[in-house]
C-alpha cells in the first residue's frame, strides 16, 4: 500500500509503527489542559495543542503521540467543568508514557506542553528519567515560545501586555482554529482584580507587596470573577491567531529538525 506517510500515532497500526522503528523517529508528546479560558472560549485548550502538534508532525516528519488532555491546574478547580490531575498522577502518567517509548529504544522524545502550569511537574519527571534512563528529554512550553519581538509584531504598540489567561495567545488561536466554538458575546467588562491577606493578587500564584511578588495559593476566583485573569480578549482576532499558530509551527519544526541529530544520551563518569 502506498500513500502519504502517517504522522499521527493514533492513525497507525502496530505493524506500521514497528516498520518505522528502524528510522529511530522523533516522538512528539503533546500535553494540554481541560480548564476555563474565560467566558468566551471552550474549556478544552488541549484542542489547540493537538491541532498544532498535527501540523508540526507533518512538516517535521516526526510522529505525534495522542494529546493528553488533562494537566495540573488546581487553581481552576473552583470553576465547574475543569479536569485536573493530582501532581503525583501527572508525574506518573508522563513517566509511564515516556517509558513506553524508551523501552523500545526510542530516545528522541520531545514534550509539547500546551499548559504552562504543567511544567514544574514535567521538569521533575524529565530529571528523574535523565537520572534513571540516561536520556535527555526537552520540553517546549507552547505559549512561552513567543519572544517579546514577536509579541510586538502580533500586537503593535501593546506587545506582551496582551499576554494573559483569558487573553492572548489562546483567544486569538481559538478564533483562528475553532471560530465556531467561540462566544465573544459573553465577554464581560473587566472585573476588579481580587486581593488576599490585604494585598492585590498578581497572576495565579502570588500577591504583590512593595512591587515584589509573594507566592501563595491563589485560585482563579481569588483573582477575578469572569475567568479573565490577564490580557484583554477584545484585542484578539483570527488573523493574529493565524500568525501565532504559524510562528509556533515554524519554530517547533525548526527545533525538531535540529533535535533529530542531537545526542540524547547522558555521558556519566
Q: Which residue matches cell numbers 484578539? A: 236
User: What are the sequence ranges of the domains in the chain?
Assistant: 9-145+245-259
State the Cα–Cα distance between residues 53 and 47, nearest whole angstrom. 10
Taking the CA atoms of 36, 72, 119 and 17 in sequence, report the sign of the dihedral they define.
negative
The C-alpha atoms of residue 84 and residue 154 are separated, in whole angstroms, by 31
pLDDT of residue 3: 66
Full pLDDT tens readout for the chain, 269 residues: 456 899 999 999 999 999 999 999 999 999 999 999 999 999 999 999 999 999 999 999 999 999 999 999 999 999 999 999 999 999 999 999 999 999 999 999 999 999 999 999 999 999 999 999 999 999 999 999 999 999 999 999 999 999 999 999 999 999 999 999 999 999 987 678 899 999 999 989 999 999 999 999 999 999 999 999 988 999 999 999 999 999 999 999 999 999 999 999 987 65
pTM: 0.94
Please give the Cα distance from 262 to 54 (Å, whole number): 23
CA distances from 214 to 75, 119, 121, 196, 232 (A): 16, 20, 21, 11, 24
Of 227, 191, 223, the residue nearest 41 (C-alpha): 227
User: Under a CB-based contact definition with an 8 Å cutoff, are residues 10 and 17 in contact?
Assistant: no
- What gap in Å lies between CA 32 and CA 49, rounded to an integer? 6
So what's the architecture of 9-145+245-259 in CATH?
3-Layer(aba) Sandwich (3.40)
Contact 31, 119 (CB under 8 A): no
Torsional sign, CA 99, 100, 106, 108:
negative
What does the pLDDT read at residue 1? 47
Amino acid at each position: 500500500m502506498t500513500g502519504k506517510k502517517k504522522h499521527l500515532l493514533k492513525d497507525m497500526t502496530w505493524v506500521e509503527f514497528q516498520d518505522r522503528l528502524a528510522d529511530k523517529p522523533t516522538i512528539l508528546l503533546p500535553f494540554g489542559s481541560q480548564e476555563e479560558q474565560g467566558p468566551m472560549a471552550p474549556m478544552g485548550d488541549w484542542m489547540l495543542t493537538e491541532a498544532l502538534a498535527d501540523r508540526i508532525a507533518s512538516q517535521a516528519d516526526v510522529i505525534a503521540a495522542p494529546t493528553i488532555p488533562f494537566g495540573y491546574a488546581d487553581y481552576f478547580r473552583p470553576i465547574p467543568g475543569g479536569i485536573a490531575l493530582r501532581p503525583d498522577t501527572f508525574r506518573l502518567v508522563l513517566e509511564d508514557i515516556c517509558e513506553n517509548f524508551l523501552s523500545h529504544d526510542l530516545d528522541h522524545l520531545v514534550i509539547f506542553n500546551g499548559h504552562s502550569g504543567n511544567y514544574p511537574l514535567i521538569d521533575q519527571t524529565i530529571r528523574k528519567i535523565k537520572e534513571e534512563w540516561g536520556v535527555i528529554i526537552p520540553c517546549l512550553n507552547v505559549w512561552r515560545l513567543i519572544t517579546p519581538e514577536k509579541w510586538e509584531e502580533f500586537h503593535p504598540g501593546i506587545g506582551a501586555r496582551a499576554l494573559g489567561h483569558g487573553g492572548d495567545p489562546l483567544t486569538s488561536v481559538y478564533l483562528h482554529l475553532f471560530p465556531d466554538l467561540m462566544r465573544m458575546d459573553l465577554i464581560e467588562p473587566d472585573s476588579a482584580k481580587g486581593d488576599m491577606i490585604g494585598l492585590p493578587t498578581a497572576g495565579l500564584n502570588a500577591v504583590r507587596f512593595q512591587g515584589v511578588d509573594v507566592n501563595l495559593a491563589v485560585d482563579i476566583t481569588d483573582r477575578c470573577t469572569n475567568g479573565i485573569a490577564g490580557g484583554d480578549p477584545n484585542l484578539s482576532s483570527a488573523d493574529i491567531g493565524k500568525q501565532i499558530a504559524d510562528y509556533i509551527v515554524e519554530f517547533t519544526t525548526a527545533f525538531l529538525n535540529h533535535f533529530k541529530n542531537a545526542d540524547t544520551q547522558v555521558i556519566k563518569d
